[in-house]
């Protein structure tokens, strides 16, 4: 028998996003069980999900608990061998589930990164993460044509959480997402811990989904940068990056990034976030670096800064688009670095 599949979706308001995600899931070629975690919605989302999607298992939280906690709850609610995580602002194409779960037939594969395309369906939004020697993470192949999704460079660390398949035993072995990382770096941290535990990660370029990006955190730019800084500060301390041979590069990079952010935004959000994240990692067990084949050593100091700027520019563009059309923030589905 084929292994069962639990699809876990975290929702917070914006019912139309979740409904679109569910409609696309309904067209899949594999049987699956859908678990939607309503993470404290204050609009009609919960009522409409119950009325219009009776086949979906709905788990309700009375208040917003952040994405990792809600996601962990959704995964724990299920019991199937394979867990697929979807952001509710992701529309999967037919055959997505079949293709994103196929690589898990190899028993040493713990996670699979699906291909996320931008709204136009032509450019790549990301296909997993790559990290440099400082564990700074970047969406792989972002902005390139979809035809290049099969490229093996940059090296894959692991998947992002927006359209991803996990082997349940791998997920449970490392205790899922770290709930301290409420919004950013949670999926990167999980990918590192899975690699440290010996699980391989692969891509599935033919498992295609459209990332609408309507649900990402960002109505308050300072808050977004503060959360991003928190994740970075947490990772710096948890993985002992300032005590390794690459400490000088790490410190130089962080200094440049923080100073540039202060100059552009005229606030201390990025610095404050890093300080808070550093403090939050106090007392946590120190973790090692992932295997050498999980770190892309070809990402130079200069190219790392360029990739960070690319990510920052994309976030600014996304905020302008939402502001122009009056979309509200959606703080439970933000993932990534």
Both 95 and 159 in a single domain?
yes
Q: How far is the C-alpha of 148 from the C-alpha of 22, rounded, in Å? A: 28
Same domain (yes/no): 226, 202: no
> pLDDT for 250-307, tens place per residue?
999 999 999 999 999 999 999 999 999 999 999 999 999 999 999 999 999 999 999 9
Q: Please report the pLDDT score of residue 111 as a whole number.
A: 98
178 part of a folded domain: yes
- Is residue 171 located within the same domain as residue 53? yes
Q: How far apart are CA 41 and CA 195, in angstroms?
A: 34
Residues in the chain: 337
pLDDT band at 332 (very low <50, low <70, confident <90, very high): very low
Same domain, 235 and 131: no
Check whether residue 174 and residue 289 sit in a common domain. Answer: no
Q: Give pLDDT, residue 312.
A: 75
Domain boundary among 160, 181, 211: 211
Q: Say whether both 263 and 118 belong to one domain.
A: no
Does residue 252 share a domain with residue 187?
Answer: no
Q: 250: buried, middle or exposed (CB in 10 Å: 19+, 13-18, 0-12)?
A: buried
Mean pLDDT of 201-224: 82
Same domain as 250, residue 129? no
- What b/e string do you get for 105-121 counting C-beta neighbours within 10 Å, with b at 16 or more? eeeebbbbbbbbbbeee
Total domains in the fold of the chain: 2
Please, what is the Cα angle at 315 between 333 and 260, to 5 degrees?
125
- The answer to whether residue 330 is domain-embedded is no
Residues 196 and 246 in one domain: no
What does the pLDDT read at residue 216? 44
What CATH number is given to the structural domain containing 135? Answer: 3.90.550.10
CA torsion 174-176-182-187 (nearest 10°) is 80
- pLDDT, residue 313, reads 76
Mean pLDDT of all residues in 123-141: 96
Tell whether 206 is covered by a domain.
yes
Least confident of 62-71, 108-117, 146-155, 322-331: 322-331
Q: Tell me the HSE value of 269 on the side-chain side, using a 13 A CA sphere.
A: 15
Domain containing 264: what range? 221-325
Looking at 211, 241, 274, the residue that finishes a domain is 211
Q: Are residues 241 and 206 in the same domain?
A: no
Residue 333 in domain: no
Residue 336 resides in a domain: no
Q: What percent of the chain has pLDDT over 70?
A: 91
Residues 186 and 253 in one domain: no
- C-alpha distances (whole Å) from 119 to each of 21, 144, 210, 213, 327 are 14, 13, 6, 8, 15
Average pLDDT in the 155-169 region? 96
Q: What is the pLDDT, as a whole number, of residue 219?
A: 52
Residue 229 within a domain? yes
Q: Do 152 and 59 fall within a single domain?
A: yes
Give the mean pLDDT of 145-165. Answer: 96
Taking residues 21-48, report their average pLDDT: 97
Q: What is the mean pLDDT of residues 207-226?
A: 78
Last residue of a domain, one of 175, 192, 211: 211
Is residue 104 in a domain? yes
Question: Does residue 331 form part of some domain?
Answer: no
Mean pLDDT calculated for residue range 17-37: 97
Q: Are 123 and 143 in contact (CB under 8 A)?
A: yes
Other beta carbons within 10 angstroms of residue 58's beta carbon come to: 16
* pLDDT of 333: 36
Q: What is the pLDDT of residue 261?
A: 93
């Amino acid at each position: 028998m084929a292994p069962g599949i639990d699809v876990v979706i975290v929702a917070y308001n914006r019912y139309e996003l979740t409904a679109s995600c569910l409609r696309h899931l309904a067209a899949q070629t594999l049987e699956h069980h859908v678990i939607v975690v309503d993470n404290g919605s204050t609009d009609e989302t919960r009522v409409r999900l119950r009325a219009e999607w009776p086949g979906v298992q709905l788990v309700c939280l009375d208040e917003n608990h952040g994405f990792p906690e809600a996601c962990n709850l959704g995964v724990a609610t299920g019991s199937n061998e394979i867990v697929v995580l979807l952001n509710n602002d992701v529309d999967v194409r037919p055959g997505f589930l079949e293709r994103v779960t196929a690589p898990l037939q190899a028993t040493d594969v713990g996670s699979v990164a699906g291909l996320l395309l931008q709204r136009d369906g032509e450019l790549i939004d990301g296909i997993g993460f790559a990290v440099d020697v400082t564990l700074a993470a970047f969406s792989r192949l972002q902005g390139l044509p979809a035809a290049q999704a099969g490229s093996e460079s940059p090296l894959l660390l692991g998947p992002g959480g927006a359209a991803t398949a996990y082997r349940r035993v791998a997920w449970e072995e490392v205790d899922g997402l770290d709930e301290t990382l409420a919004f950013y770096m949670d999926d990167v941290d999980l990918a590192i811990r899975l690699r440290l535990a010996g699980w391989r990660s692969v891509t599935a370029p033919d498992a295609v989904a459209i990332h609408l990006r309507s649900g990402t955190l960002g109505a308050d730019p300072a808050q977004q940068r503060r959360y991003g800084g928190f994740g970075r500060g947490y990772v710096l301390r948890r993985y002992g990056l300032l005590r390794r041979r690459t400490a000088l590069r790490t410190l130089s990079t962080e200094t440049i990034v923080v100073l540039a952010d202060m100059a552009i935004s005229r606030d201390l959000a990025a610095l404050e976030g890093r300080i808070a994240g550093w403090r939050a990692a106090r007392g946590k067990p120190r973790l090692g670096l992932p295997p050498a084949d999980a770190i892309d050593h070809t990402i130079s100091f200069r190219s790392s800064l360029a990739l960070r700027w690319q990510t920052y520019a994309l976030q600014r563009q996304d905020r302008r688009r939402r502001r122009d059309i009056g979309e509200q923030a959606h703080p439970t589905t933000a993932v990534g670095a």
